Amino acid sequence: MRIVYTDVLVIGGGLAGLRLAIGARRRGHEALILSLVPPKRSHSKAAQGGMQASLGNVFKGQGDNEDVHFEDTVRGSDWGADQDVVRMYVNTSPKAVREMAAWGVPWSRVRRGDRQVIINNQKVTITEPDAAHGLVGQRDFGGTKKWRTCFVSDGTGHSLLNTTTDRAIATGIPVLERAEALALIHDGRRCYGAVVRDLVTGALTAYVAKATAIATGGAGRVYGVTTNAVICEGIGHAIALETGVAALGNMEAVQFHPTGIFPAGILVTEGCRGDGGLLKDVDGHRFMPDYEPEKKELASRDVVSRRMEEHILKGKGVKSRFGEHLWLDITALGEHHIRHNLREVWEICHYFLGVDPVKEWIPVRPAQHYTMGGVRTLPSGESPHLTGLFSAGEAACWDLHGFNRLGGNSLGETLVAGMIVGESIADFCDRPENDVDVPAALVRESLAREQAKLDELLSGRGSEDAMVLRGAMQELMTAKVGIFRRGRDLEQAVDELQKLLVRSRSIGVRSRAAGANPELVAAYRTRMMLKLALATAYGALVRTESRGAHFREDYPRRDDAQWLKRTLATWKGEQDTLPTLAHEPLDVKRMELPPGWRGYGAKDYIDHPDTPARQAEVDAIRAKLASSGRWAVQEALLPYERLLPPALRGRNERIEERF
């Protein structure tokens, strides 16, 4: 029995995992990262557009601050977010950008003087002030009032990941590459680490740790058409679910990105629209102003994606042999802008489509993009159900994004959650009562159980083909659990996914090849992914309202009276074919921003009974403290600072707010 001991076991080598490992290591704890691939290949790499932080550096960002960022994020979430967490996040994201600036990220910088930009299809000249020259630049993104998205050309994720990986190497953190956690070691109350498979040799090892963190990113590959990398199969989500104790939050909240290139699904950044790109239909007509006169192409992603599909249903799509699509037109931005600020977009169009976006339109259609659901955590990042288990980034339902994430808030979340959860893990490890005292029998049994599952797959007795089941799952999810959802379709999806899950218990693997065995990997992952697909589809079936990215045609209104709640999914018994769902209410009486209209999308929703009273209370506090400044108002409405690690508290300096 091979056992490796460490203080902090980090599952996932993307931005969130790296940053939290660095935090824990700096506090003197040993950290070890497991990663499916070399960390610089993680999906964090793919984030092109940028990261939101209310620095207020650029002219069009003047007046921005934590309060504006908070409001945008809560509205974007369609009131699904945890407002404490949003407050923690908006206060820390400027610090994250500045830390990254010091660590070596080549942020695009502001240049003083006049520059031409495109706003609402018009060329406009704006003048950047002298004081901003050389500070981190910011661009426009959907769902934000100010230009707030800090960026590195359009390789923001790439540069952040390079810098953070190198910083982890500098900090002496070992990374076990090509290693996969198959199961958490736990006794139903306390998590003790994970059983890990070496993807090169096939060997199993138990990693025992005081704290275990899941930072494995999204689960987009449950869908057929997705912008996610091929490694985003949600196995981190699945090992938490398979404990039977830890819950996944809001798995039905799935975001579709408006501009996946068609038909491959590769992402072109929201920066295209932020910088002035337009969506056009088969007639070359710019249709978004017809639906969303205020925000147009820059409404939130869920709204833009739905409007695009709606427009295609009206017969305005461009027909092709692969189906229908719309156009993204960025030609007005000009060659220099496209070749400098949207370089990756140019490369993708060039290599995958043979299209020159300087002169031609880009075929696009919404594609699955982001998993808002994940391992349910407290604001500290710890699971409320399993001591010693933490989660951060896309794998977590920390719950920054609620039912719709704004562009530029995911890169922000990876680093900010990494900073916060890294500190709380260090606090956890500091406490003597959390020393690991794991029974050897528990470790041995966990290893034996996982080995037995693999042996059973490899015995070849099963008759089902994992790739066939996976294909059927992806088709069901795309067709019936997509942008528009209906009760009848969801019922069918749940029914058929259950059948696939039962069949997946009889998967057989033909090859017993030594070392890496891609067929075996596909087999055990497919079984796990089917459980996530069921948590998503079943959660969507039960939630009889529309909120953010979750849109029910048969229940088109947001229903705060019934559904201002977070879905919690657990998988109680190994033989179950459905997760057990519970619904945890969000407390309107504590909300700094009580539910209302988002400023785009449907104006039609059902109020929560507590909303008017809370709104009156909020209005009274605002009126009473109007002369005391925004900090006093905020503190009175939602005191949150105690939730932040001491090192991350404090205000953020701006050109307009010096201290």
User: Which listed range, 80-88, 168-176, 303-311, 561-569, lies at the site for other proteins (CB under 8 A)?
Assistant: 168-176
Does 631 help bind other proteins (rule: CB under 8 A)? Answer: no
Side chain identity at residue 578, one-letter code: L
What track of x and - describes contact with other proteins for positions 582 through 611 (by CB under 8 A)? ------------------------------
Of 373-412, which residues contact other proteins (CB under 8 A)?
none
Nearer to other proteins, 183 or 522 (CB): 522
User: Which listed range, 63-71, 166-174, 215-223, 281-289, lies at the site for other proteins (CB under 8 A)?
Assistant: 166-174
Query: In what helix (H) or strand (E) does residue 257 lie, and over which residues does it extend?
Result: strand 254-261
Nearer to other proteins, 4 or 101 (CB): 101
Instruction: Name residue, tokens 């990997």.
Output: 521
CA distances in angstroms from 599 to 37, 64, 434, listed in the order given = 41, 18, 47
Smallest distance, Å, CB 2 to other proteins? 17
Smallest distance, Å, CB 72 to other proteins? 22
Among 3, 4, 126, 264, binds other proteins (CB under 8 A): 264
Task: Please say if 461 is a catalytic residue.
Answer: no
Among 9, 74, 342, 522, binds other proteins (CB under 8 A): 522
Q: Which residues contact 42 (CB under 8 A, 6 or more apart)?
A: 12, 13, 14, 15, 35, 161, 217, 231
Nearer to other proteins, 158 or 480 (CB): 158
What does the block give as tokens for 541? Answer: 């079936």
Among 116, 127, 201, 628, binds other proteins (CB under 8 A): 201
Does 12 help bind other proteins (rule: CB under 8 A)? Answer: no
Q: Phi/psi at 379 (nearest 5 deg)?
A: -55, -25
Task: Please say if 321 is a catalytic residue.
Answer: no
For 189-248, give the DSSP string. SBEEEEEEEETTT--EEEEEEEEEEE-----GGGSSSBSS-TT-S-HHHHHHHTTSSS-E
User: Which listed range, 82-90, 180-188, 301-309, 346-354, lies at the site for other proteins (CB under 8 A)?
Assistant: 346-354
Smallest distance, Å, CB 163 to other proteins? 8
Among 29, 237, 273, 405, the active-site one is: 273
What track of x and - describes contact with other proteins for positions 209 through 248 (by CB under 8 A)? --------------------xxx-----------------
Does 102 help bind other proteins (rule: CB under 8 A)? Answer: yes
The answer to whether the CB of 183 falls within 8 A of the CB of 204 is: no
Among 138, 159, 404, 424, binds other proteins (CB under 8 A): 159
Torsion of CA 370, 374, 376, 382, to 10 degrees: -100
Does 113 help bind other proteins (rule: CB under 8 A)? Answer: no
Among 139, 257, 311, 558, the active-site one is: 257
Smallest distance, Å, CB 217 to other proteins? 11
Does 351 help bind other proteins (rule: CB under 8 A)? Answer: yes
What does the block give as tokens for 605? Answer: 């929703």
Does 136 help bind other proteins (rule: CB under 8 A)? Answer: yes
Conformational region of residue 188, where left means phi above 0, alpha means psi within -120 to 50, and beta covers everything else: left
Smallest distance, Å, CB 513 to other proteins? 5
Side chain identity at residue 600, one-letter code: Y
Nearer to other proteins, 106 or 188 (CB): 106
Whether omega for the bond prior to residue 263 falls within 30 degrees of 0, making it cis, is yes
Does 177 help bind other proteins (rule: CB under 8 A)? Answer: yes
Instruction: Name residue, tokens 């785009």.
Output: 600
Smallest distance, Å, CB 89 to other proteins? 15
Strands 51-52 and 149-150: antiparallel
Of 137-156, which residues contact other proteins (CB under 8 A)?
137, 152-153, 155
For 355-385, b/e burial (b = at least 16 CB within 10 A) is bebbeebbbbbbbbbbbbbbbbbebbbbbeb
Q: How far apart are CA 65 and CA 57, in angstroms?
A: 11
Among 95, 221, 405, 608, binds other proteins (CB under 8 A): 95
What does the block give as tokens for 418? Answer: 């990494």
What track of x and - describes contact with other proteins for positions 439 through 468 (by CB under 8 A)? ----------------------------x-
Size of the site for other proteins (CB under 8 A): 82
Torsion of CA 171, 172, 178, 180, to 10 degrees: -80
Nearer to other proteins, 36 or 564 (CB): 36
Q: Which residues are catalytic?
A: 257, 273
